[in-house]
Amino acid sequence: MRDMRFNYETLVRISKAMSGSRDPEQIIHMTVQSIKEALGVKGCALFLIDPSSKELEIAASAGLSDDYLNKGPVSAMRSIAASLKEGPVAISDVTDDPRIQYPEAAQNEGIASILSVPIMIGEEAIGAIRVYTSEQWEFTLDEVNFVQALAQIAGTLLEMGRLYQGQREYIEVLTTMQEAREM
C-alpha cells in the first residue's frame, strides 16, 4: 500500500488557498502543484479546451519536461476523450492503451500511468486535470475523489475569475464613457 500523503485537512488547506485568489493563473498553478505534492506523483497538468480547435491546451504543469509538454497538439477528441464526457479515466499502463495519443512521448518522459479528470462548469467540460506517475499505479477511489474535488474547485474559481475580469472590464468601459461625457 502506498503512503497516503493527503487527507481532508490537505483538501481544506488547498481549497482555502485556491479560493483566496482571483488570479486564474495562480489558481491553476496552485492546483497542479498541490495535487503533485499531495499524491506524491511524477507530475500533474491542467489543460483547458480551446473551443475552436477542440484541442487541450496546457495551462499549467508541475513535474513534467518541456519536451513532453511540447510533444504536439493534444486532441480533446482523441486523447483520453472519455474523461471529458463520462468522468475520470485511469490508465494503469500507458504502453498498452489505445486512448493514449502519444504513447512514445509518455514512455520517454518516464510516465507509466495517467489519471484524467474533467474540469466541469455545470454540465460542460472546460478542461482536464491529468495526474502522471512514474510507476504503474492503480488509482484508489480516495485519490480519484481528491483530484475530482480539486478539479471542481478549480473550475468554479476559474469561472468566477472570468466573470470578475469581465465585470472589471465593464466597469472600466463605463468609467471611460462617463469621463468622456464630462469633458
Tell me the whole-structure pTM to 2 decimals.
Answer: 0.82
What local confidence, expressed as pLDDT, does residue 80 receive?
Answer: 83
Residue-wise pLDDT tens digits, 140-173: 998 999 999 889 888 887 787 666 555 555 566 6
What mean pLDDT is predicted for residues 12-30?
76
How many structural domains compose the chain? 1
**CA dihedral over 172, 178, 181, 183, signed as positive or negative:** negative
Q: What is the mean pLDDT of the chain?
A: 84
Cell of 18: 485556491
Residue among 130, 110, 108, 111 nearest 119 (CA): 130
Does residue 1 form part of some domain?
Answer: no
Does residue 44 form part of some domain?
Answer: yes
Residue-wise pLDDT tens digits, 74-83: 887 777 877 8
In the chain, % of residues over pLDDT 70 = 83
DSSP string of 10-21, one letter each residue: HHHHHHHHHHT-
Does residue 170 form part of some domain?
Answer: yes
74 pairs with which residues across the strands?
56
Does residue 3 form part of some domain?
Answer: no
What local confidence, expressed as pLDDT, does residue 110 receive?
Answer: 97
**Integer Cα distance of 78 and 99 in angstroms:** 7
| Residue-range definition of the domain harbouring residue 70 | 8-182
Task: Catalogue the E-assigned strands of the chain.
Answer: 43-50, 55-62, 74-75, 89-91, 113-121, 124-133
What local confidence, expressed as pLDDT, does residue 1 receive?
Answer: 37
What local confidence, expressed as pLDDT, does residue 93 receive?
Answer: 93
Does residue 124 form part of some domain?
Answer: yes
Residue-wise pLDDT tens digits, 23-48: 778 888 888 998 998 899 999 999 99
Does residue 96 form part of some domain?
Answer: yes
Q: Are 67 and 143 in contact (CB under 8 A)?
A: no
Domain CATH code at residue 54: 3.30.450.40
